[in-house]
Amino acid sequence: MSRAVVEQLALGLLRGLAMMILLATVLLLGSIAVGGARVIDWEFLTSGPTEGMTEGGIFPAIFGTICITLLMIFMALPLGVCAAIYMTEYSGTTRTARLIRASVNNLAGVPSIVFGLFGVGFFILFIGRSIDAVRGGGLLFGQPAMLWAAATLAVLVLPVIIVSTAEALTAVPRSHREAAFALGATRWQTVSRVVLPQARAGILTGSILSISRGAGETAPILFTGCAYFLPRLPVVHLSVPLTGLSIPMINPLDQFMELSYHIFIMATQSTDAAVTRPIQYGTTLVLVGLTVLLNVSAIGLRARYRRRPVTR
């Protein structure tokens, strides 16, 4: 065979394989969309499961997912951003910096179920039980709860936040920092007023990606706080004194229902898998829709940010 023919065949093969992946994705998403579309309506999204989970909606799972990802990002974002700032702005190429980077890379490669084990062994049993011992008065913190599930997820998404923040920070040209120093600014002033504002988009991208990751992970929350069916939402009503008002607040010590866990449970352990199949598809469609939406906005944000010229 002539070289030209080999070239055409090889390039065609590579193109074909790449397209097959996209085709598989489209088929996957398509089958979920088709299976789930007929179930989704306003009631599905706003009411809870009934009739032994064979009918009704998935609102508690949606609510639980929102709660857990909010709590998770609240814990992970400050930690991750500060760690990234230290890594890129302060520690340079020292051994510490290399150690931090190596740890981040390793953390990114830990299996998700190991995070689940860590969540049980460290957060619930060690931290939670210790708090209970100090408090005195029974088991409150030392059991599965939204707080610990969120903490576990926060450790899991930490690398995502650190890496995207570090990328965003290093993308800011050196000249900007040098200009700030030339004007007499301290390191922190430079970072907080010059570098960080320009890295905002990258940090936001990282946050969105980690929210998407947190909503989709199931293994870490299997035993750290998720529940199969709860009769009420994880809120507690606080009464405001002297006004007779009561404000609903998220209760981080409660267990919660969650979308990805709901899919797993309904697909494997529901009372009649054939009857609940439409609900399974519907829940999957909601979760996929959520993650696709988040990922698309993150990617779009990053594209727009990269296209905007950084030097003004």
Partner 1 sequence: MKNMTIKRMIPAVGLVAVVAAGLPAAAAGNITVKGSDTMVILGQRWAEEYMEKNPEVTIQVTGGGSGTGIAALVNGTTTLANSSRPIKPEEIEQAKRGKIDVVEFKAAMDGLAVVVNADNPIRSLTLKQVGMIYTGYIGNWKQVGGPDRRIIRYSRESNSGTYVFFKEHVLMNRDYAADSQTMPGTSAVAEAVARDPSGIGFGGVAYFATNPKLRIVPIARDDKTEPISPLLPGGAINFPAIWDQSYPIARYLYVYSAGRPEGAVKAYLDWILGPDGQAIVERIEYVPMPPSKG
Partner 2 sequence: MAQDAATTATVGRGLPARRRRIGPGEVIVEAFLRLNGFIAIAAIALIFVFLFKEGVQAFGTIAPGRFIQGNEVDFDNVPQVVRMWQPVGTNPKYSIIPLVLGSFLVALPATLLATLFGVACGIYLAEIAGKRTRELVKPAIELVAGVPSVVIGFFCLATLATLVQQTLGNVYRLNAFVGALGVAFVIVPVIATMTDDALRAVPDELRQGAHALGANRWETIARVVVPAGASGIIASVLLGMGRALGETMIVLMATGNAAQVTLNPFDSVRTMTATIAAELGAVPQGGEQYRALFLVGSILFTITFFINLAAELAVARMRRRLAL
CB of 224 to partner 1, least distance (A): 12
**Of residues 9 and 275, the one with the C-beta less far from partner 1:** 275
Q: What does 70 interact with, of partner 2, partner 1, none (CB < 5 to 8 A by kind)?
A: partner 1
User: Does residue 155 touch partner 2 according to CB under 8 A?
Assistant: yes
Please identify, using beta-carbon distances, which residue of 175 and 239 lies nearer to partner 2: 175
Q: Which of 1, 42, 139, 174: binder of partner 2 (CB under 8 A)?
A: 174
Binding flag, residue 77, partner 2 (CB under 8 A): no
User: Is 239 near partner 1 (CB under 8 A)?
Assistant: no
Is residue 204 part of the contact set for partner 2 (CB under 8 A)?
no
CB nearer to partner 2: give 13 or 247.
13
* CA dihedral sign, ordered 105, 106, 111, 115: negative
For partner 2, the binding residue among 210, 251, 255, 284 (CB under 8 A) is 284
Radius of gyration of the chain (CA): 24
Question: Under rule CB under 8 A, which residues in 116-145 are in contact with partner 1?
Answer: 139-140, 143-144
Out of 2, 93, 243, 268, the only residue in the binding site for partner 1 (CB under 8 A) is 268
d(CA 119, CA 66): 20
**One-letter amino acid of 274:** A
Among 235, 295, 297, 301, binds partner 1 (CB under 8 A): 235
* Amino acid identity, position 197: P
Closest CA to 230 of 113, 139, 145, 141: 145
On the 0-12 / 13-18 / 19+ scale of CB atoms within 10 A, 138 is: exposed
- The residue within the footprint of partner 2, chosen from 69, 205, 276, 280 (CB under 8 A), is 280
Q: What part of residues 6-65 is at the interface with partner 2 (CB under 8 A)?
A: 6-7, 10-11, 13-15, 17-18, 20-22, 24-25, 28-29, 31-32, 35
- Quick one: which segment of 57-65, 162-170, 233-241, 244-252 binds partner 2 (CB under 8 A)? 162-170
Question: Smallest gap, in angstroms, from Cβ of residue 247 to partner 1?
Answer: 8
User: How many residues touch partner 1 (CB under 8 A)?
Assistant: 37
Nearer to partner 2, 44 or 281 (CB): 281
**Is residue 203 involved in binding partner 2 (CB under 8 A)?**
no
Could you say which of 215, 250, 257, 279 contacts partner 2 (CB under 8 A)? 215
Which of 130, 186, 239, 246 is in the footprint of partner 2 by CB under 8 A?
186
Residues in the site for partner 1, rule: CB under 8 A?
52-53, 70-71, 74, 78, 139-140, 143-144, 189, 192-193, 197, 227-232, 235-236, 238, 247, 249-254, 268-274
